[in-house]
Amino acid sequence: MIQKIITKNNIEIELSAPRYEDSYEWNRIAKIIANEKKYLLVEPEKVYSIDEIENKIKEPNDDNKFVLVARDNGKFIGNITARRNGNKKMRHTIEFGLWLSPEYRNIGIGKNMILSMEKWGKDLKIKKACLTVFSCNDFAKNLYLKMGYEIVGIQKNQIKIEKEYYDLIYMEKEL
């Protein structure tokens, strides 16, 4: 399924399943975001390799996994991934992560990606979507709050970026 959206600044963006040709840009942009330090837990040298990304792309979306990528004129610019909890007692929950290339943030793409992920979850009768976000990531935190996610926990000083400590915020939303 391919979905077209128009951003706040009138760019047409395609949302769809990942393709093999996304793997190089996926890897490149993930390293850029990892270098920003305040958005991803992984260090740049630990970002998925192109081979690892291609293996992720091989796995189709199903009742346990959801991957949606965003493209501008065919060029990969970010993704959202969600995974259903594998524990039988927690199969009613999903955890997700979202990231976008820096120049595509705060223009409505992330919101549309989350709405697509939530629809997938609702179709599977998932009851709750969960995520973690760094306390220094105000853009993401504010987006999640606007979309109805609630802060349900905070691990104080859980993240160390260079010499500064930040909290790790746990958020969730009933679907």
- pLDDT, position 37: 82
Closest CA to 117 of 146, 83, 150: 83
52 Cβ contact list (under 8 Å, min separation 6):
none
Model pTM? Answer: 0.93
pLDDT in tens, 7-28: 999 999 999 999 999 999 999 9
